[in-house]
Structure 1
Amino acid sequence: MYKTLLLSIVLFFSYILVSAQSIKGTIIDENGEALIGASVVIEGTTNGAIVGLNGSYGIKGVENGATVTLKASFIGFLTQTKEVSINKETIVHFTLLPNHKELDEVVVMAARELDTDASARATEQHAAMVLNVVSANTIELSPDLNVADVMQRISGVSLEQSNAGVGSYAIVRGMPKRYSYTLVNGVKIPSPDNKNRFVPLDMFPSELLDRIEVTKALTPSMEGDAVGGAMNLIMKNANDDFSFKINASTGMSTLFMEGSGQDFLTYDQSQTNRVAPHHRAVPGYEASFRDFTTDNLVISKKTNPIDFNIGTSISNRFFDGKLGVVVAGNLQKLHRGSDTHFYNIGFADIVNNVMSLNTYQHRQYSSEMTRGGVHNKIDYFFNPKNSISLYNALIFEREDQVRETERFRLWDGEYNPETNSGTASLITRIRTTEQQIYNSTLQGKHDLLPFWNLDWSAVYSIASRKRPDQMVFTRNASYVNGVPKQVRVEDFGGQYRQWEENDDRDYTAYLNNTFDLQRFGALKLGGLYRDKARTNSYIRYNFKPQNDETKVDEDWRYDEVTWTLTNPKGGQTNPLNYDAHEKILAYYGEYKLTPSKRTELVGGVRVEHTDQGYELRNPRYGEEPSANQTYVDYLPSLHFRYMINEKSNLRASYFRSVIRPGFFEIIPYEIGAEISDSEFTERGNPDLERTITDNFDLRYEVFAGVRDNLFIGAFYKNIMDPIENGIMVDDRGNTFVQPGNYGSAINYGLEVDATKYFRNFGVKANYTYTHSSITTSKIMYQREDPEDSSSDIVPLQVDQTRPLQGQAKHIGNVSLLYKDQKNGFDIQLANVFTGKRIEQLMVYYEKDYWQKAMWQMDFSVEKHFDMGLTIFVKARNILDTHRILFIEEASTENQSKYPAQGNVGDNLVVRDDRYGRNFQIGLKYKL
């Protein structure tokens, strides 16, 4: 009986499988972008399907041998029908065209839209070099509000975080941030950073972009000063039709929510004097305390501070498509910070290199960040052979930060961690940091002859950074059970106010000529000239209190103290008051050859002439008032692409690149440990030389679908004269930190990047393994006579081999996506893993600060309604991941009792930052 029943079931399902077949296929637009949510139905029936995330659809239950008519439709596109005969599994693809009337006369053909995933995959597939692209569509659905957060989703990229938990700088393929550069619309922009060339990417709101391109192998036509990668931010372009978008959101950080245990502290930044007293008066002016206001240094508390983000863009084309105009802007106000446990280390056993915890600091950061930008692009097509465009952008950021510190001495039993009692210093730091980047670019493209195309750019850029009236206020306190009982103002230093200001100004001209040599390939000739000028000002005023009384159960306010100014000229002769220049003349020849239909070669040589120098405004006795260095670099490159088939490539690349020292590094400055916030004095190095690197890449690429991809790549970098901070000892026995060139270093690794969509589900994942090695000098102490235990202990310079700063052996991303077109839902769960890495280089042998491996999880969800309205929620750091720094030394039983330390034998923690979770909820409207 059971056998008969089983046979009947098998025969029944066999009949169903034979008689009922399926129809599968894709629906895309003319640019190859999946039309997610498009519908296809069998005419005369209700049997149909909706296109999923991978651009595909599937209709089941179709009778085998039948002839049916399929109708594909999507809002804004022409409906398309196809008659098909069903034979087993039938594949039917649709390409829908926009539903607009054809003009009688069209002069300008629409270009491929840059903000789509299909366009991003097409660019990666057909590029001459190794490239990763993130489209605006992907950015919009992510939990990210700025470019830096988007960058960490790209294979091989991790971020360096600020004290407020904001990722600012990209580390590409384990190379420190100095080894990459940033472009806007293909044009390099200067950095507002006071010490370095790299650009803080968190300044750029992500919604101003059409896409991000990260080039990991340079061609001769690209500027040659990148080893990790060149990050090109492609800003929004004018659409072919009228477009209007607006979004607004609000949110908050759980770190400062009522009941969280940490108050958000703020001050009246508008009362700050923008320039130092000596700048407000005649040269040589000697200031007095009456020149300083204290109204800007009164701290107040803000309960449940609210974040907001608002952005809009509008674009259109006029005069039969000849004139395109786009304007976009964004404004964000965010409240970020951290609750930080911080330790200064010293030696417990100096001869055996065993460390102690000397001080414990409980720091609480409150940062009110106002950032945003506005950009505008106007382009005009005179005719199919000539066009011109003008691009202007202003990106800005202001951070108003209060840092409150309780610093306890840990020696001689002065601190009891169980009761939080002991002798402490209370240190308040108030500082405003203002950064902005302005860029104006005029560009033209011309077809001079059938075989000769020319494009040019004239660029003006300026980046600036100001820190007006940064204040440090120090008091001494006696703590009992976590409460300061007796407080007096510190009168032996630790009281100062300083003004910092710097700007980088660039004038740049680009010229590129492309010659189509038909079957002989293509030749590209061009170059650039850049005139960069930097100015830097540093003024610091030191104060001494006249108040010597002690307050009981109450802290001092800065404006309650009577102050005496001890250096009325503000240290105007400090070498950090300087002017610097850099002039670069570069030219190149690039040749593209296609020996066969499947093979492509792009190679050539770039030559860069550099003239770099500085001049001190007020040189002191014995200082060189100015210095200059010039050099020429020849940078060859070769890129090979073999097209295995229409969906896969094999690539191999080689290029040489140059990394120039930063202006700050070659100035003969000296900054004391109390200013640099480190344990040693810092000095500049006028003899610092550039770094030369040979770079090799190999990558296998598969573009399996409209939006799917698989990349497997390997890279190797040989770095000559890398620039790193090392330890030096001068003739007088003083130990200091100084940038230097350290022989050679290597960096190699493996990258895997994959994207796969399954109808309503999608997975985006990447993993990068990196290994690097460099040898630099460190300090180790030993007896002058190792056989005599009573001989003096002396410092020795010894070599230590370690990874490059910021390089993690393992980094990766996994994003899970879900789209329910019927109910209008988009959901993304994004995960970022950053492995153990050196966060901060230390002067002692084998005592660098390592960052513990981190896993950060972010989430976003969108609900779409008719008429272009969307509600969204973005949540970042939902696991409340801490950033933990440690030295590789086992903690003792006594050390393990201190805050944020682990168990006995665990690595010794030197810093623990908790940033809290951040949430945003908002609306978007698109017309």
Structure 2
Amino acid sequence: MCMKIRIVLLLLGLSTFILGNAQNDRSLKGSIQDAESKEPIVGALIYLSDDSENKKPLGESGLDGSFVLRKIPTGNIKIRVSYLGYKEQLVEVNIDASEILATPIGLYKNSLNEVIVIGHKNGDDRKSFLIDRNADGLQNSLSARAIEISPDVTVANSLQRMSGVTIQRSSNGEGRYAIIRGMDQRYNTTLINGIKIPSPDDKYRYVPMDLFPSDLLERLEVIKTLTPDKEGDAVGGIMNLVMKNAPNYQIVSGFFSAGSSTLFSDRPFQTFNSNVINKRSPAQINGPSYLAKVGDFPRRNLILRNASQPSIQAGATYGNRFFDKKLGFVLGLSFQNNYRGSDQILNTQYPGATILPSSAAGKITDNYPQFDATVNNKYSTQNRRIAVNNKFDYNINNKNKISLYNLYVRMDEFQARSSSDTDVNTNLGQVKINTRTRWQIQTIYNSTLHGDHNLSDRLSFNWTAAYSVARQQTPDYANFEVDYAKTKNADGTQSLPLIFTPNSPSMSAIWAHNSDKDLSGYLNFIYKTKLSNNDLEISWGGLARHKIRDNYYIKYSLTALDSSFSDILSSNLDFKTGSATAPYGNTGIGRNYSIKENVVAGYGQFKLDLLQKLQIIGGVRIENTSQRYNTNLSSDVNAGKGHIYYTDVLPSLHLKYAFDDRQNLRASYFRSLVRPGFVEIIPQDIPASENEAYEQQGNPYLKHTTADNYDFRYELYPKGTDQVLIGAFFKRLYNPVEVTFSHYSVIGGNPSPGTNILTPTNIGNVKNFGIEAVYTKFFGKFGINANYTYTHSSATTSKYFLHYDSTTKVNVTQSRNQTRPLQGQAKHIGNLSFIYKNPSIGLDAQIAYVYTGERIALVNTFYDMDTWQAPYSQLDFSFEKKLFKRLSLYGKINNLLDTKTKYYIKQPYLIGNTLNKIPGQSDPTKQIFVQQDIYKISYLFGIRFKL
């Protein structure tokens, strides 16, 4: 509570400071623009004409080119307006009271021989705005400066500020994956400088976006339509991370910040000793025939201790050009060590449904969900990120240029989870106390060599050779469980005696690692010509990519030999009696595998500009996919090895009509595909103990997804970076994939009902459509940035329905069709940011609000039993105040509303003739509570310098 009060006081203080600076006596108001284009000029400096250049300017033009000069002398004065790349302008004004200039002050550009380099700074808002405006397809961007002054420190959290994008959060509340236009993360692709990168995730292709610190970006792009020259595997969109480029002049910059989370004001942050962990399993160290010993498994990594360390972030960038501006170089370094966490309550479900013979409704209730246990989890997560970004480019001459880019990112996640569970209805019976520790290492390395060559005035080509490798390693993923019997005594007190069983106390240790290596080559030719005096550009080319992915897994399980348990260290553990294979470790069902994938693609594309009004881009892309996988499964298991191949023809057509220089109308069609994740096409099984709550399996009969995509958008650019964008989209998906509850095992084709197993499944054909609106307006020192997206999809699937037949007096399982939205899709998405920028006092401030409507988190195979995530709102605040010319103070505060993530089933709670029995239940008449995650408020304060 004290921390919340301090944060509120801080915000009030900043507001008072801003308002105080808004007061004035005599003032002069006006605006500054380019004399020829009439575009507003942001950041022009205004001086009194008799001031020397070393004197402080009276003011600076704002976000819309306007300025206000306060407390200026009366009478006739001359002001001098200065801006890099433009000629200075003198203006004479008579000041009696407050004056407003009737016409804008126009600045003329210097002649070419007076200025060596004229252009936008790398990463500024104006450059990003122009790139979006002039793009061949639909895209939205965030500049480095917009990201820098936002409340976000990772790319994942920055993505939620963009139109049509929501994020899926990890267990510590941080954004991890992006959902674009209501399309689950599987339908989206991640690029680094336009090059596709592999994922370190052990299950899927999509890349965890929280790996990337946002301070290394020059621009973040979300591309929503695909032209033939782009890879065709995206339905929702493409996230392109444009990293820092070599500047035209020397830059030296850096930052340092520290902060914390108010979650750890209420409870301690728990950590463990990772130094005792062996990076390799006993079988890796000694060979697969080695009989492991109890001494091979340290237990000190399961001893949790309290820690109170602040989150720390730091970074630095250096860039310059050498040898007469021919050689460019940039190096960026970033380090983050963040402490986050969450408190979770989870009600797990039994498989299938039940019949309530006597419910709160006073009648028999068909097809009702049944719950197993209430689990209380406390997560403490330390994320340590290291990132290095480096680029060289060399201008051989005015026709040839080469560049070499390298990126390395690493995130070490140290997570401690303490949990307890008991019967969901009685809060009595068996209680499981569980301690789990995990050290997960994720890395991505990318090296890209690129060349641009002009063979003539008409013909040019470019090429790219890229090597990328993504890895994940989880050494000694340890789990310890002790069971107790919770009973109620005659006097009303409760007892909690230890239960000694063959599986309690128990300990497990898992070693797992995977790698994904890509070798890629790209080649593109561009030929420029004329067609009836209209500009025509013809391009063709292709790519070849060879991918090798492998996965390693082994698990060791130990149990107590007797009931003499006092703590983890003293417990007498050994391999289960009578199991001769236990010391060798369990390599799982299909958990050890390798897969090779070859993708070959070619395309042809044309771009035609008709009468400087209509631009037409069209063509076709052909992609061939070949996958071969092999597992450690025996030959009698279905699809233990396999070869999957397919070819897709992907046509596209894009139209852009310019009404004038400020209005565009765009329409487009493209066909695209999505390849399933590797683990999804392999017949493997992941137990519930390793997957948070439920067992998970692959599906070797899964088909890849294709889609027809249609887009329409009207664009208005009134002035400067102001914009109004209104658009609509429609997508028809064929064989989309969703992860659903299944009660049958894919392994061996078991026909009998089993447990709740998460299984990837093709759900037929689906339609998805929506509208998008973006509004950006700057007036003086204030600005507003808003976007709204409405999405609607319709998927009809067959589900089970358990019905009580009153005639035969038996329960009958029926089949019913149910129509619902796509998994992960929110119908309503909104972003609203208020921006304040006062150059005269060096203050930037922003308050940002994000809203995500309810969405299906988990699809159940039984009717009306899908798990929904409740609507989510988040309010964040950030500021930056210049202290000196090169030094500024900044702060970022997240989740000011202390928003919680909640999940529920859309049925009334009817069990036991009570309305509030299940733990966490708040609205029993409309929904059944399933899960809640609490993150609290987090904050960072620091300093930033730019030399």
What TM-score comes out, normalization by structure 2 length? Answer: 0.88
Specify whether residues 414 and 875 from structure 1 end up closer, same or farther in structure 2 by C-alpha distance, changes over 3 A only.
Answer: closer
In the alignment, the residues of structure 1 paired with residue 807 and residue 271 of structure 2 have an alpha-carbon distance, to the nearest angstrom, of: 58
1:488 Cα deviation after fit: 4.9
Looking at structure 1, the residues matched to 318 and 493 of structure 2 have their Cα atoms a distance apart, in angstroms, of: 55
Hey, what's the Cα distance between the residues in 1 that align with 2:244 and 2:137? 24
* Secondary structure of residue in 2 paired with 1:221: coil
| Maintained 8 Å contact 1:43/1:68 | no
- Paired amino acid for 2:262: T
Structure 2 residue aligned with 1:641:
656
What does 1:373-772 correspond to in 2, within 5 Å?
373-411=387-425, 413-415=426-428, 423-478=430-485, 485-488=496-499, 491-492=502-503, 495-518=507-530, 519-549=534-564, 556-558=567-569, 560-564=571-575, 566=579, 567-572=582-587, 574-617=589-632, 619=634, 621-679=636-694, 681-726=695-740, 727=742, 729=744, 732-735=751-754, 736-772=757-793
Name 2:6's counterpart in structure 1: none
Matched, 1:142 2:171: no
| Closer, same or farther: CA 875–407 of 1 in aligned 2, 3 Å | same
Comparing 109-118 with 740-749, which one deviates more in the overlay? Answer: 109-118
Report the CA distance between 1:293 and its aligned residue. 1.9
Amino acid in the other structure paired with 2:409: I
Partner of 2:198: 190
Using the TM superposition, give the Cα deviation of residue 372 of structure 1 relative to its aligned residue in structure 2, in angstroms.
Answer: 2.4
Instruction: Confirm or deny that 1:265 pairs with 2:270.
Output: yes
Counterpart code for 1:342: L
CA contact (8 A) 2:217 2:242 kept: yes
Distance 1:452 1:100, change over 3 A: closer
What secondary structure does 1:867 align onto? coil
Q: Is the 8 A contact 2:900 2:933 kept in 1?
A: yes
- Cα distance in 2 for partners of 1:482, 1:765 equals 56
Match of 1:888 among 893, 906, 910: 906
Rounded to whole Å, the distance in 2 between the matches of 1:603 and 1:43 is 58
Partner of 1:905 in structure 2?
925
Residue aligning to 1:91: 104
Matched, 1:920 2:920: no
CA deviation after TM superposition for structure 1 residue 861, in Å: 1.3
Instruction: Give the equivalent residue in structure 1 for 2:822.
Output: 804
Worse-matched range after superposition: 167-176 or 704-713? 704-713
C-alpha contact 1:593 1:601 (8 A) present in aligned 2: yes
1:483 Cα deviation (Å)?
9.1
Mark the CA change 1:482 to 1:914 in structure 2 (over 3 Å): closer, same or farther: farther
1:336 is matched with 340
Superposition CA RMSD, Å: 3.0
Deviation at 1:89, TM superposition (A): 1.9
Question: Which segment drifts farther, 795-804 or 215-224?
Answer: 795-804
Does residue 1:841 correspond to 2:852, yes or no?
no
Stretch deviating more after TM superposition (831-840 or 891-900): 891-900
Q: Give the C-alpha shift of residue 540 in structure 1.
A: 1.4
Following TM superposition, by how much is the alpha carbon of 1:470 offset from its aligned partner in structure 2, in angstroms?
1.0
| 1:77-108 Cα deviation digits (max 9, x unpaired) | 776025689998222222566999867xxxxx
* Distance change >3 Å, CA 547–CA 368, structure 1 → 2: farther
CA distance in 2, matches of 1:731, 1:874: 53
1:274 and 2:289 aligned: no
Report the more deviating stretch, 331-340 or 36-45: 36-45
Q: Are residues 299 and 749 of structure 1, via their aligned partners in 2, closer, same or farther at CA, if it must alter by over 3 Å?
A: same
C-alpha distance after superposition, 1:312-354 (max 9, x if no partner): 1000000110000100010101111101111123456267012
Partner in structure 2 of residue 164 of structure 1: 172
Alpha-carbon contact 1:203-1:372 (below 8 Å) kept: no
Measure, in 2, the Cα distance between the counterparts of 1:627 and 1:98.
66
- More off after superposition, 596-605 vs 667-676: 667-676
**Alpha-carbon distance between aligned partners in 1 of 2:201 and 2:869, rounded to the nearest angstrom:** 23
What pairs with 1:292-311 in structure 2 (closer than 5 Å)? 292-302=297-307, 304-311=308-315
Deviation at 1:686, TM superposition (A): 1.4
Contact 1:22 / 1:62 at 8 angstroms: preserved in 2?
Answer: no
CA displacement at 1:520 relative to structure 2: 4.8
* Aligned partner letter, 2:451: G
Contact 2:294 2:573 in 1 (8 A): no
Farther-moved stretch of structure 1 (746-755 vs 354-363): 354-363
Secondary structure of 1:137's counterpart equals: helix
Letter in 2 for 1:830: A
1:125 match: secondary structure: helix
Q: Does structure 2 retain, via aligned residues, the 8 Å contact 1:114–1:120?
A: no
Distance 1:660 1:343, change over 3 A: same
Instruction: For residue 900 of structure 1, report the CA deviation from its aligned partner.
Output: 2.4
Cα separation, 1, equivalents of 2:901 and 2:651: 41
| CA distances 1:434-486 after superposition (whole Å, capped 9, x unpaired) | 11100000000111111011111100000011111112211113558999853
Q: More displaced, 461-470 or 571-580? A: 571-580
SS in structure 1 of the partner of residue 718 of structure 2: coil
Report the secondary structure of 1:296's partner residue.
Answer: helix
Give the 3 Å change call, closer, same or farther, for CA 583–558 of structure 1 in structure 2.
farther
Please name the residue that 2:23 is paired with. none
Cα pair 1:638 1:655 within 8 Å, conserved? yes
- Structure-1 separation of matches of 2:185 and 2:760: 15
Change (3 A) 1:233 1:414: closer
Return the offset for 1:669: 1.3
Cα 1:824–1:474 shift into 2, 3 Å: same
Task: Decide whether the 8 Å contact of 1:294 with 1:559 is kept in 2.
Answer: no
Post-superposition CA distance 1:48-80 (Å, at most 9, x none): 7531222223679999xx999652125x67760
Distance 1:464 1:822 in 2: 48
Quote the residue 2:329 is aligned against. Answer: 325
d(CA) in 1 for partners of 2:389 and 2:618? Answer: 35
How many angstroms apart in 2 are the aligned matches of 1:273 and 1:61?
A: 68
2:801 counterpart of 1:780: yes
Task: Report the CA distance between 1:34 and its aligned residue.
Answer: 4.2
Q: 228-237 or 535-544: which moved more?
A: 535-544
Cα displacement string for residues 498-557 of structure 1 (whole angstroms, at most 9, x for unaligned residues): 111111100000111111113350001111000011001111112211131365xxxx32
SS of equivalent residue, structure 1 residue 833 = strand
* Corresponding letter in the other structure for 2:64: N
Tell me if structure 1 keeps the 8 A contact 2:235–2:707. Answer: yes
TM-score by length of 1: 0.90
Cα displacement (A) at 1:800: 2.6
Moved more, 510-519 or 649-658: 510-519
Deviations along 1:653-675, one digit per CA (max 9) or x if unpaired, are 10000111111111111234444
Return closer, same or farther for 1:452/1:490 CA change in 2, 3 Å cut-off. Answer: farther
- Report if the CA contact (8 A) 2:85-2:118 is conserved: no
1:693, CA displacement in angstroms?
Answer: 0.1
Contact in 2 for aligned 1:27/1:51 (Cα 8 Å): no
Q: 1:314 aligns with which of 311, 318, 335?
A: 318
* Secondary structure at the counterpart of residue 903 of structure 2: strand
Q: What count of residue pairs does the alignment treat as equivalent?
A: 881
CA 1:199 to 1:89, structure 2 compared with 1: closer, same or farther past 3 Å?
A: same
CA gap 1:923/1:30 in 2 versus in 1, 3 angstroms? farther
Alignment of 1:103-114 (within 5 A): 113-114=121-122
Matched, 1:249 2:268: no
- Partner letter of residue 520 of structure 2? T
Hey, what's the Cα distance between the residues in 2 that align with 1:44 and 1:332? 44
